[in-house]
Every structure is written in C-alpha cells, then in structure tokens.
Structure 1
Amino acid sequence: MKGSVAVVGGGIGGLAVAGGLHRAGWRVTVFERSAGLPTVGTGLGIWPSALRALDRLGVGTRARECGRLQSDGAMRRPDGSVIATLDVARIRRKHGEGVHLLSRPALLGVLAGALPPGVVRFGSPVADPVALAARHDVVVGADGIRSATRAAMFGDRYPLRYSGMTAWRGTVALDVPAGGETWGRGRKFGLTPQAAGVTNWYAAVAAAEGYRPPEGDVVALRRLFGDWHDPIPTLLDRVDPAGVLHHDMHLLTPLPSYVDGRTVLLGDAAHAMTPDLGQGACQALIDAVALVDALTRERDVPAALARYDGQRRWPTQRMAAMAARASRLSRVRRFTGARDLAVRAALAFGPPG
C-alpha cells in the first residue's frame, strides 16, 4: 500500500516514520513548529533494539558513526560507594551489541538526512490536526508529550500526570571515563560521556509540581549535590546557568488506543513516560518502524493502523509502567537500603534491550 501521509512533529519519531515511509514510496510531509533542527542538546542512550530500528530505516550505520559506545557504568550512593553496576559486556552478549550514546541533535540530523529537501516544513505548527485528514490518507501525531493530535482525538480524558520529580539537565565541557547515576534520599544525579570533552548531566529531585528554587537553579543544584562524590562537584562548578534546562517530569495516562480513524499516534504523543529507563527515544524509533511495516504490508489503512496499535500499545505502556516504578524508587527518602537492594536486583535481571 502507498499513499500520502502528514506527520505532525519533526522530532525523533516523526522524522523516523517519515524516512521509512519515504523509502517505501509514500508521499510524505512533515509539519514541524521549530524553525530548524536544533544545534545543541543533551545525550541519548540508544539501546540495541532501537539500533536495529535505525538499521531498518537505513540509517543505523550513520547513527553509530555519529555516536560512541557506552562503557560500563555504576549506580552509586552520594559517598561514591557502588549500589550496582551496568555490565555492558553482558548487554552485548545478550543483544549482539551494546548501547550507543548519541546527542539528540546528532540523531535528528541523521534522520533528517535521509529525507529529500522540502519534506520537512519547518516553522509550520499545526493548529487543527483533524483538517489534515481531508488531504492525506494518514495523519501521524508525533508531536510530543503535549500533543495537539492526541487532544484532537481524546480531548482531556487522558491527562498528563505529574511524576513527583522535577529535573534539570545540560552539558558541560568535561571528560568523564564512564557514566552512571548516584541516588540519595529523594534525589539523584546522572552523567554520561557525550563527545570528546563534553559530558551530559541530569539531576532530579522529589518536589511539589511547579517547584522553582528561589536562589536559582545552579545555586540550588550545588546546595543539593555539591557535597556528593567526584566528579559531581567539579561538574557543577562548570555549569553555565544559561545552558540549564529545568522542567517537571510528567507521564501520560494510558490510552485505550493509539488510533482514531486514519489518525495514529507514536512516541511521546502516544505513551509519554518518565526518563528513568532511558527508553523514550528508543520506543519512538521502534514505533516508527512498526508503523512503516504495517502501512506497507497491509491491504488498507484501517487494517494497517489496527496492526500497529496491536503491536505497540501494550509493550510501550508496559515500558512506561516500568519507568514509573523506577521513578517511584528514586523518590524514596526512607529505607534506602531496601531500595538499593531492589535496584541491584533489577539490574541483575537485566535492563530493557
């Protein structure tokens, strides 16, 4: 089957599905509100299942070239003692390769590079996704956590929910040998190497929704994490306040379907989850490949979208529930010893691939 598709949103999921459908002979238009691709952004861990999705889209080799392999990491306590380790060699043995670290701008650049000029219409927000259905065979809502497409499908019946954590993230000019997370009482700090001389960092704290520290973000981060183990204090000393992103973390109430007529959701628009498992971008890529497969193999659009919904809704909602449980663990303020045992057991069982 071939036809025309409008993709609302030019993020990771939107560009991935656009590239896959373009390769399959569909006429594709991507409507992206931003003026262009971002030039700065934090890092992503691309797990083996998502790397295989990139291979299916024809850009896996290029994505690997733009990233770097993740080395072994550790989860630690604020004093630096180890809770558990992430055994990258075990991931390679189980899945055939390890995790690749890639910046968001680099991944978006790889995906956009698979599309001819003019497919992505930058500076083109979509106020009425429903109207697109009159001009296209399929409308794909890939417009993120606050999706206008989802709102057009469901109204406010399935709202975003505050996770209980507020988060900061950014990059600094610093080399670290390996990444990892450090968990304290109701707060955590993570870092990953992003490129030569650049480290991606993030911090999260259990707080009321809308919390904004009166002393400013960087001063608050140094107060909360400045006495933790190295290299966290060194990293915080180098943080540029202008480059810090601060936002509350939300998750989406599970939807009864990702499909309404000829409109379909993918990525955060369908299953926004907390970042605790590092799976948001990965699941969007896998969504994109599943939707491309369905639309190219099924006899008509309703059958294709039903197939996609059947394949992706349960696994993604299960992943979102797992991420929410991990988020709850990181908010623990008491009985942290029992929490650490739970984290160690979870990593021993194996992270999602």
Structure 2
Amino acid sequence: MMMEGVEGDVVIVGAGIAGLSTALGLHRLGIRSLVLESAESLRTTGYYLGMWPNAWKAIDALGGIGQILRAKHTQLIGIVTTSVVSGDITAEVPIKSADSEGDSGLYAVNRKTLLETLGNVLPRETIKYSSKVVQIQDSDGFKSLHLADGTILRAKVLIGCDGVNSVVAKYLGLSKASSAGRSSVRSFVEFKNGHGFEPKLMLFFGKGVRFGVIPCDDHSIYWFYSFHPPQDKKIEDRMKLKQHILSTIGKVPDKIRSVIEETDATNIEYSPIRFRHPWNLLWGNISKGNVCSALEDSIILARVLAAALRGERRENEQQRIRKGLENYAKERRWRSIDLVWSAYISGSVQMWDGVVLNFIRDHILAKFLGGLFLKKASFDCGKLN
C-alpha cells in the first residue's frame, strides 16, 4: 500500500552499525528516529571486527550495552607483526587493559552480536525493513524519500549510513567509491579442542599480501586476507581461492597455516575493497542543508542533532539543523580524511614486495605501523550530553 506524506524528525538510511548506533544515541537524548533498511531483517552476515578504545568510548556513551558486549568477547593483549618474506617477527606492541578513564583496549567483537545488541535496545518501531530508498527530493524544507514500494516519507533530517553504494552519498554529490586495487577474504574457523593461541592480533605481510589471525575465544579464530587479484575480478571457486591463499602466505608457522587449512571453504567470503578518496571528503559535501552522510562518529552526530531539534526558538528549526550539521561536517571531515588516508597507506606499505622495500618495512616502519593503530584508536568522541 502506498503511503504519502509521512513525516519524521530524523530518518536514517541503513541499519548497519553506524545507523543503529546513531539511532540509539538520538533515542538516549529523547529524539525519535526512523531507520530504513532495504533488507528484510538485520544484515548480520559477516564475522568479527576489531573494536579499539575509540569505539568502546562511543559504545559506553550509548549507555548499558558496553558491559553486555565485553562479557561476551575476549580482550586482546597485544599486536604481533610478522614478515612472510623472512618469517621473523618484526614488532610486538602490548595493548593496555581497561583503566579508570574507560580505555577498554582491543576486543574481537562478533558483528552479529553487536548489531543485535544495538537493535534490541531500540524501540521496536524504530527500524522499518524492506524499505529501499530509490529517490531523494527537496520538499518545502523537508527531504522527500521515495521508497521502492511506493511509500513517500518526509524528513526534517536525513542521515546516510548505507555503505559504499549509498543513495544519500549520491544525493550529496560524492563520487562513487573507487577500487583500492586489492580484494579481501574473510573467514572463521572453530577448533573443538581449542586453538592454543594467545589473545593477540597477529598480522602477517609482504610479497603482495596482508593477512591477520584473531583469536575470538578459546575455540574460535577469525582471519582475513587481502591481495592483488588479476584485474580485481571476483574469484567464484572458494576452494581454489583457499588453495591460492595457502600458496601465497609465505613463511608462517605451521600453526598459522593450519588455521586456513582447517577452514571450511563454504565459510570464505570474498569482496573487492572499495573506498572514497580523501580528496572527495575534503572538497565534497558530507552535509548539505538537512542531509548528512555519517562516516564514523554517531555520538557526535546525535549530540549535534539533539541540540538543534531541541534548541531555542531564536532561529527557526531548519537553520539550527543546517548549522548543526555544518559544524558536524567541519569536526568530522579531517578525522575521516586522516583515517581513510592512514588505512590506505598502511595497507599499501604492508603489501610491499622487493628486497629494499621489504627491508624498509620490516626493519624501519614495523614498529611505527603498530603504534599508528593505537594512536588512531585514542580518539575520544565525548559523552552524549
């Protein structure tokens, strides 16, 4: 049934981690939002992700769910980097435990658990599934959202959290995501009798590949692998992909090799890596009027919008919203550029090949790259209010 003219204060496109955390931040501040998700349910596919101190500070600001997530996951105590060219460990960086300032170190967090925990705290009517946005138009100070089923929604504020193919980013005029020239493989394996690894993030790189092994608990291992495939074409045969990985991981301990060997090929996920160039974020509009493309920090965005929607009436509401989003864009732009650029450069360096480049990476840059991860993770988004 077609619905026309349905209005809401805040509409968020995409029920991923960014979308749900932004909705929860607004909910904690008394602002209702509607999250549109094109799928029929939460997209809980995928495996684990590393949650660093900056992420935990944001989670803790949302109230309550940080303790739930910590109780279900293992804290990692260090980062170990190894060259697949020489087989030698190039750096070991310890990670401190939680302290009085709320620095919660690094955890391997199940993506499904994180999404479901966020979704369960939100009011039931917050997420509207099977809601694909096909067009966005201006409408008397509102944004008019046309959905695939004929529904038309009007929003005071529109937030895009809908990934690299974002319809909101397209409306903002951002260029399409570009290929990084690399592809990613992710997978997960269970060892019934335990895997025996210490709780450390183990990174291996060189000879054009980069991969990592992360213990999630005493029995579970998440691993990822990035490489330069021929012409960046998708490899359909997962068994051949697994064999390719085993043939290219170089000098690694047999225990690490067994992680990939024991992985069921049907659990392997493959995808080309895409990103937006930093200069797109520098010169492009990440906010326009009452539209914003959320890039990282849901806490800052929720704080800005709550202040605008509940502010004094000396300015009209649309002016407050526009100014609030402009301030958000200024604050987040350089942080986003820094993260994108650092990730791109770090990934490229770790996949260098050649005698001279390998020596520079393994003996000069290794400790710097390990410390870089921790430095970027020290950002504090602050409290909701």
Aligned partner (choices 220, 223, 232) of residue 201 of structure 1: 223
1:30 correspondence with 2:35: yes
Note the alpha carbon deviations across 1:80-126, whole angstroms, 9 max, x for none: 42111121138969973311221111111121122011211122221
Equivalent residue, structure 2, for 1:295: 305
In the alignment, which of 246, 252, 255 is matched to residue 228 of structure 1? Answer: 252
Quote the residue 1:263 is aligned against: 291
Q: Cα gap change, 1:119/1:91 in structure 2, threshold over 3 Å: closer, same or farther?
A: closer
Distance 2:250 2:303 in 1: 49
1:342 aligns with 2:365: yes
Q: Structure 1 residues 105 and 130, CA, compared in 2 at 3 Å: closer, same or farther?
A: farther
Alpha-carbon spacing, 1:327–1:226, altered in 2? closer, same or farther (3 Å)? closer
Rounded Cα–Cα distance in structure 1 between residues aligned with 2:18 and 2:328: 14
Secondary structure in 2 aligned to 1:332? coil
Instruction: Please list the CA deviations of residues 259-280 of structure 1 after superposition, one character each: whole Å capped at 9, or x if unmatched.
Output: 012110013xxxxxxxxxxxxx
Aligned to 1:326: 346
The 8 Å contact of residues 165 and 205 in structure 1, kept in 2 or not, is answered as: yes
Inter-partner Cα distance in structure 2 for 1:219 and 1:12: 33
Counterpart pick for 2:95 among 88, 92, 110 = 88
Question: Does the aligned pair in 2 maintain the 1:142–1:265 contact within 8 Å?
Answer: yes
**Pairs aligned (count):** 331
Mark the structure with the bigger radius of gyration: 2
Q: Does 1:139 align with 2:161?
A: no
Query: Structure 1: which amino acid aligns with 2:143?
Result: A
- Report if aligned partners of 1:259, 1:306 keep a CA contact under 8 Å in 2: yes
Judging changes above 3 Å, is the alpha-carbon distance between structure 1 residues 210 and 130 closer, same or farther for their aligned structure 2 residues? farther
Correspondence 1:159-174 to 2 at 5 A: 159-174=176-191
Query: Is 1:116 aligned to residue 136 of structure 2?
Result: no
* Matched residue type, 1:74: V
Shift of 1:331: 2.6
Aligned partner letter, 1:67: H
From 158, 165, 172, give the equivalent of 1:153: 172
One-letter identity of the residue aligned with 2:321: V
Give the 3 Å change call, closer, same or farther, for CA 264–348 of structure 1 in structure 2.
closer
CA distance in 2, matches of 1:133, 1:161: 28
Of 264, 267, 276, the residue aligned with 1:252 is 276
Separation in structure 2 between the aligned mates of residue 239 and residue 219 of structure 1, nearest angstrom: 11
User: For the structure 1 residues 314 and 234, does the alpha-carbon distance in structure 2 shift closer, same or farther, using more than 3 Å as the test?
Assistant: same
TM-score where L is the length of structure 1: 0.86
Alpha-carbon shift at residue 199 of structure 1 (Å): 0.7
Alignment partner of 1:42 is 2:66: no
Q: Let me know the Cα RMSD of the aligned residues.
A: 2.3
Letter in 1 for 2:285: S
Offset of residue 297 of structure 1: 2.0
Task: Give the aligned partner of residue 106 of structure 1.
Answer: 113
SS in structure 1 of the partner of residue 345 of structure 2: helix
User: C-alpha distance in 2, partners of 1:83/1:318?
Assistant: 25
Partner of 1:217: 241
Name 1:70's counterpart in structure 2: 76
**Long gaps (5+) in structure 2:** 1-7, 145-153, 312-319, 378-385
Return the letter of the residue paired with 2:306.
Answer: T
> In 2, Cα distance between the equivalents of 1:231 and 1:221?
15
Q: Is the 8 A contact 2:34 2:128 kept in 1?
A: yes
Secondary structure of the equivalent of 1:231? helix
Which of 193, 198, 208 in structure 2 is aligned with 1:186? 208
User: Contact 2:189–2:220 at 8 Å: present in 1 too?
Assistant: yes
Aligned partners of 1:345, 1:221: CA distance in 2, in Å?
27
1:14 aligns with 19
In the alignment, what sits opposite 1:273? none
5+ residue gaps in structure 1?
Answer: 268-283
